[in-house]
Structure 1
């Protein structure tokens, strides 16, 4: 089911960015990040975009003004996000709670929501005009930790886009922040869930001790060069509804058919991507992903904790084994990696950060997949109703940071029939993308009798 890449182009007129400070005085103090927060791999912003339709009952209200005021009120509670990151001894990061504020941008676009097409899914046209970012985002020190742009559309709808430093929060903490803003936008005096800092709960032990194997932080071999070319990169999304997921499950042995949607789609993406990139058969390839540490901790983290509570995991094999084995082989590798997570494993990660100097996960041969289908971005209501699309703004987030684009994303969407499904969004060189689409098509045709010979990607773009 192919969807044109929404060739619509439009002008976005931004007002001058302004700093929005907390609406009331907040504590001036210095707060250390946890050792799960303070990872080299998290030194980038999480970009989320939300699309809202026109609501006639809200015509008297300006969404940009409402959200700006809600931001100021919310920062009273989340005041560290109004501060700036500083670096201490051994590159240890901390938040200087200066109250300087978050960066806020009002904008107007001469485009209507319907012009984006029947299916809203990455890649979005002119996304960099809708999602503001500061110059040199790799430099995380002494700059705003939270950036919001609200863009009014000519149809009366609007787009809410937010960039938050991943060092301060994960997706669960980010949705907690956004929901707090939404509550206040709708008239609440304070967030229903009060934010909790308490980052010491996920800091390294004293003395630190690495008690688990952490191949997700293997060091790059000297002279290693990524085999992923950077020229002619394209961004596409592929739709998986009930029919597609059911088809993939039929390819599996009976005992694996109850695997999770993430295990199924991550394995499928990893295998097809490796084949598409024509990776050297003997090269080691890895699928990197994160899982929540919250269910593993005893006692549990307090309600309202909005710091990073995730750990990276790695499924590892060779390109030959991954490409030549059936899909179930990759699923078993992903499942085995997930089963390694215990509370001791989480503590070991924090200790590793201190002992090894916060190593980055290896980029060569890596494919990183993040799943936000169950986070709840699409349910955020600022008073205009729930989103038409809510989720990560784009795949390939590592492109600017590391020179390659290993990150693929899974987001919840609806197709043109209104059916719920998942968009698998990925960046690849143009020739590899065509192979990737064909490999997906081959998998789905193994059981889908009579399926027309066409790729299933739903959107594409340069």
Structure 2
């Protein structure tokens, strides 16, 4: 069974008053423009990330709150735009006012152990709102702190590191780079091993801007009634070796070399489309996130921490996707991913300039899956060793995230949180179960490839 159920655990969290942690040394007071990719409307939301750490005897007598707060202040000297505030200029152009005001920070403690939270840590987490308190006024886009961090000490001596970041500032690679620098500072390093690179102009449109590619991800469509209202539920689904083996059995031989992420993307897109039960002729889109760093010639510089991804859309009618076999969806996903070149990225930037920054992907009939399993968040070590779990804490509407995780038996795999209205979720679960009923035929080579991919 792929579905994971969250614990109903309840615990009490005691919080100190929120504070602002500013750079440990004076930083430049200036304005920094975001790129034409960075400041699109679709990125104007906040992403919640959580990391769980066990007690470490070698750190006895050291307070994780103080260690991380001090490391944050030192890191902000190098990443000083994160200590500023977002402003909106002419035609919606976003820029950072590097005020040095700081990052929002909360010190907290909870009367619970890591073991009580759960044997298999995975989203959605019990009482996550307690682990990342929603400070009134902290969730805006403009004139607000760009990062919000809460460190919660646990009764066992471990702790929870939770943060919320303004997505227009950076992507997963950029966040990992920032957190890795914090970890280096926490362990006594004076300067980052990878210096941060701003250089947002590298992802600006050309002059004059030219849209050279087709961009189905920004199609203007009439928004339908499948809204992500208060009646939504979120469930986590685990995919390990057995689940992926079952899915590969559904593919013809020539497609069995597709990646596990391409297969997972196609599977979830198809199950979700069947579950939401659209008109057969309505179009559905699967946004395929592609890291553009290596698409440039030369590649973007090491240390670039802005958003450097695009999300070309695989597109089909609901009928085409639901009535064709899984291979049909896999082919569409592979084709969309392969379409990304440097020219494609520049075309997206040009589209933002020509059509305006308010352009965003259509919510109706769209699904977006972000692969974070190899991002390395678990490797971030503040001195207490690697995290037990690290990744995005929950789905954000039609956007889901793939995190590396273990099931209750200790098997390594990936976990995906899906957010859907309650009756739609029931249909989704049934469709996924049907797809996973394929017997594992024991292809040892494929099984080894799956294990290495996970």
Query: Smaller-chain TM-score range?
Result: over 0.9
For structure 1, which segment, 361-370 or 73-82, has the greater mean C-alpha deviation from structure 2 after superposition? 361-370
Aligned to 2:420: 428
CA contact (8 A) 1:226 1:365 kept: no
CA deviation after TM superposition for structure 1 residue 427, in Å: 0.8
Does 1:406 find its partner at 2:398?
A: yes
* Residue pair 1:44, 1:137 contacting (<8 A) in 2 also: no
CA positional deviation for 1:44? 1.1
Q: CA deviation at 1:132?
A: 3.5
Deviation, structure 1 residue 447: 2.2
Structure-2 change in CA distance of 1:191 and 1:12 (3 Å): same
CA contact (8 A) 1:226 1:363 kept: no
Shift of 1:446: 2.5
Residue number in structure 2 paired with 1:245? 244
Can you list the C-alpha shifts for 1:89-141, whole angstroms capped at 9, x where unaligned? 11111011011011111111111111122111101011112123444566311
Q: Corresponding residue for 2:81?
A: 80
Cα separation, 2, equivalents of 1:138 and 1:40: 16
Decide whether aligned partners of structure 1 residues 197 and 11 sit closer, same or farther in structure 2, where only a CA change above 3 A counts: same
Q: Distance in 2 between matches of 1:88 and 1:280?
A: 41
Task: Say whether 1:418 aligns with 2:441.
Answer: no
Contact 2:4/2:235, CA 8 A, preserved across alignment: no
* SS of match in other structure, 2:105: strand
Whether the 8 Å contact between 1:132 and 1:148 is mirrored in structure 2 is: no
C-alpha change, 1:387 and 1:317, in structure 2 (3 Å) is same
1:44-83 alignment runs, 5 A limit = 44-83=45-84
1:121 equivalent in structure 2: 122
Tell me if the contact between 1:133 and 1:163 (Cα under 8 Å) persists in the aligned partners: no
Query: Which residue matches 1:329?
Result: 328
Query: 1:163 maps to what in 2?
Result: 164
Aligned-residue Cα RMSD (Å) equals 1.4
- CA distance 1:199–1:133, shift in 2 (3 Å): farther
* Alignment correspondent of 1:41: 42
Question: Which residue of 1 is the match for residue 449 of structure 2?
Answer: none
Matches within 5 A, 1:285-324: 285-324=284-323
Secondary structure of the residue that 1:445 maps to in structure 2? coil
- Off by >3 Å, runs of 4+ in structure 1: 1-4, 132-139
The Cα of 1:3 is off from its aligned counterpart by 4.6
Cα distance per residue 1:354-399 (max 9 Å; x no partner): 000021111111111111111111111110010110000111x1xx
Normalised by the length of structure 2, the TM-score is 0.94
Question: In the alignment, is the contact (CA less than 8 A) between 2:4 and 2:237 conserved in 1?
Answer: no
Q: Does 1:443 align with 2:444?
A: no
Deviation larger for 24-33 or 430-439 = 430-439
Distance 1:423 1:355 in 2: 38
Unaligned runs of at least 5 residues, structure 1 = 398-404, 450-462
Which residue of structure 1 lines up, in the alignment, with residue 388 of structure 2?
388
Task: Give runs of aligned pairs for residues 329-368 of structure 1, distance below 5 A.
Answer: 329-358=328-357, 359-368=359-368
Per-residue CA deviations over 1:270-326 (Å, capped at 9, x if unaligned) read: 111111122221211111131101111011111111011101211111111111111
Aligned residues: 439
Residue aligning to 2:450: none
Distance in 2 (alpha carbons) for counterparts of 1:447 and 1:212 = 42
Counterpart position of 2:268: 269
Q: How far is the alpha carbon of 1:425 from its aligned partner?
A: 1.2
* Structure 2 counterpart of 1:456: none
2:212 match: secondary structure? coil
* Contact persistence 2:239–2:415 (CA under 8 A): yes
- Alpha-carbon contact 1:123-1:394 (below 8 Å) kept: yes
Partner SS for 1:122: coil
TM-score (norm 1): 0.92
How far did 1:415 drift? 1.5
**Structure 1 CA distance for aligned equivalents of residues 343 and 406 of structure 2:** 39
- Distance in 2, matches of 1:92 and 1:133, equals 27
Hey, what's the Cα distance between the residues in 1 that align with 2:190 and 2:230? 50
Question: Distance between the aligned counterparts of 2:215 and 2:136, measured in 1?
Answer: 33
> Which residue of 2 is the match for residue 457 of structure 1?
none
